[in-house]
Structure 1
């Protein structure tokens, strides 16, 4: 099912700036037993993105109700929420744009994630780099051409996810997930101040890791840093957490942090 501004339909104005320029943002949420996992965090993420992109006048009360309405009809699903700037403006100018447009859709939950949580994921290095732009860094905006090219590389191979670098050869993330690795009691994750998506699962993982007594460092490192990692794992709001068994030629067997985080915590299963 799809809702556009609260109405069940599949047609969007061809003048909408999401089509014209990729002008908008989105978030992708997991639905379990009729409820959106991390519901309020997804709303806050969209609010913060709209603020940074200067998309004003979104009706957050209506969006909240629409999210709950679609989720209530699903036992296990993926809920995608898109906010566009709407139609209008001349060229790139925002002046004269109409009201923002809310697009919500539900799709089946990816069944392969449960298998990956058991077997562990294989990561491969891809050749498509992420361009640096601190103004947009961290945001899940609608300009996803880099990820499309990265996904094309993955589709041509047998790896489960990608090791994505910036133009300086530093680790950033995966194609559709954030990356972490562990050495002793220290966790590491790429610094996303220049590019990359700061996922909700990444945010929650960092918070819970610190509560469990782990320290987290935000670093700019090349892939070789994984050579002496004891544990590697990836996360996003749908997976939500998957251990990595191999990244290029590096192999990992420990799941110490993975087991501690998932023990008695359904949000990570």
Structure 2
């Protein structure tokens, strides 16, 4: 595994790091294809928003150069970037002169069955609910305990992903994916004003849909609306798009809009059809 800390090869982290102590930071999981990072601009934009909201003093231009150098070494794979507030003393109060720590790890490309993108996946109905916290909604912050609990709910490999809802029962996302529906020709995805992660691939799909004339809506979606959707699919920055073909007793066919967007995203990521 390739590993850098603050731009240099390293494998040890100080025990005083606030990311370890409090989850005080952000992370990005970045696809690297032949040294390219197809969604780099979207990852940097989300980092900028997160750094502003968490008051992290992050130099994005230096970080861009560091990511590009890391991708050159990695070649093909998954680059995980963790940005923490750096070191601090005991206590929640952020240090007045925080110095962000950048942790980069590189691993081989994520290996998912080709059948997931070709024939679609089944969703597990997670009982774990996402708590509402508008101050953190949309951010990919370091506290992922809700996702850890949700992913622990099933072991059956027949389920590739789990559906997560908020405390009011609205559908929000997958455990590690964003969710889209198609209803009467309109592409829908849940608004993430209360909870959830605003994925980079989600942003890319919304942009591609607009460019190709597909009507889109970003809004609250009730569970009952999911069940009457014409098409359902999941997305993330590593695998692109997976059609959803089942949730409990509900079944869906892989639809035309899903396939159209899937082709565009596969071209972007260099995925083989």
Preserved contact between residue 112 and residue 239 of structure 2 (Cα < 8 Å): no
CA contact (8 A) 1:23 1:85 kept: yes
Match of 1:34 in 2: 35
Normalised to the residue count of structure 1, the TM-score between the two structures is 0.94
User: Aligned equivalents of 1:95 and 1:227: distance in 2?
Assistant: 48
Q: 1:226–1:250: 8 Å Cα contact kept in structure 2? A: no
* TM-score normalised per structure 2: 0.92
Structure 1 Cα separation of the partners of residues 263 and 218 of structure 2: 25
Q: Which moved more, 1:168-177 or 1:107-116?
A: 107-116
User: Within 2, Cα distance between the matches of 1:146 and 1:155?
Assistant: 17
2:47 equivalent in structure 1: 46
User: Separation in 1 of the partners of 2:148 and 2:40?
Assistant: 27
Asked if structure 2 preserves the Cα contact closer than 8 Å seen for 1:123 and 1:159, the reply is: yes
* Structure 2 counterpart of 1:71: 71
Q: Distance in 1 between matches of 2:166 and 2:158?
A: 23
* Aligned mates of 2:79, 2:85 — CA distance in 1: 20
Q: Which residue of 1 aligns with 2:62?
A: 62
Contact 1:234/1:243, CA 8 A, preserved across alignment:
yes
Between 221-230 and 129-138, report the one with greater CA deviation: 221-230
> In structure 2, how many angstroms separate the alpha carbons of the residues matched to 1:101 and 1:163?
33
Is the Cα contact below 8 Å between 1:134 and 1:195 reproduced in 2?
yes
User: Could you list the per-position Cα deviations for residues 155-205 of structure 1 after superposition, in whole angstroms to 9, with x for gaps in the alignment?
Assistant: 356311111010111101000000011112111111110000000111111
Q: Does the 8 A contact of 2:16 with 2:89 survive in 1? A: no
Asked whether the equivalents of residues 129 and 164 of structure 1 are also in contact (C-alpha less than 8 Å), the reply is yes
Q: In structure 2, the residue corresponding to 1:127 is in which secondary structure?
A: strand
**Kept after mapping to 1: 8 A contact 2:122/2:244:** yes
CA distance in 2, matches of 1:115, 1:33: 24
**Structure 1 residues 158, 41: closer, same or farther in 2, change over 3 A?**
same
RMSD, aligned α-carbons = 1.7
CA distance in structure 2 between the aligned counterparts of 1:119 and 1:75, rounded to whole angstroms: 29
SS of residue paired to 1:73: helix
Q: How does 1:255-266 map to 2 (within 5 A)?
A: 255-263=255-263, 266=267
Deviates more, 1:138-147 or 1:82-91: 82-91
Gaps of 5+ in 2: none
Partner of residue 133, structure 2: 133
- C-alpha separation in 1, matches of 2:217 and 2:262: 21
Counterpart contact for 2:120–2:254, Cα < 8 Å: no
Q: Equivalent residues in 2 for 1:116-265 (5 A)?
A: 116-155=116-155, 158-263=158-263
More displaced 10-residue stretch of structure 1: 239-248 or 21-30 = 239-248
User: Which range moved further: 69-78 or 11-20?
Assistant: 69-78
Helix, strand or coil at the partner of 2:194: coil
Q: Which residue number corresponds to residue 86 of structure 1?
A: 86
Which range moved further: 46-55 or 60-69?
Answer: 60-69
Q: Distance in 1 between matches of 2:97 and 2:86?
A: 6
Deviations 1:95-121 (A, max 9, x none): 345310001111121221533111211
Structure 2 residue 28 is matched with structure 1 residue 23 = no
Unaligned runs of 5+ in 1: none
**Is residue 85–residue 97 contact of structure 1 (8 Å, CA) maintained in 2?**
no
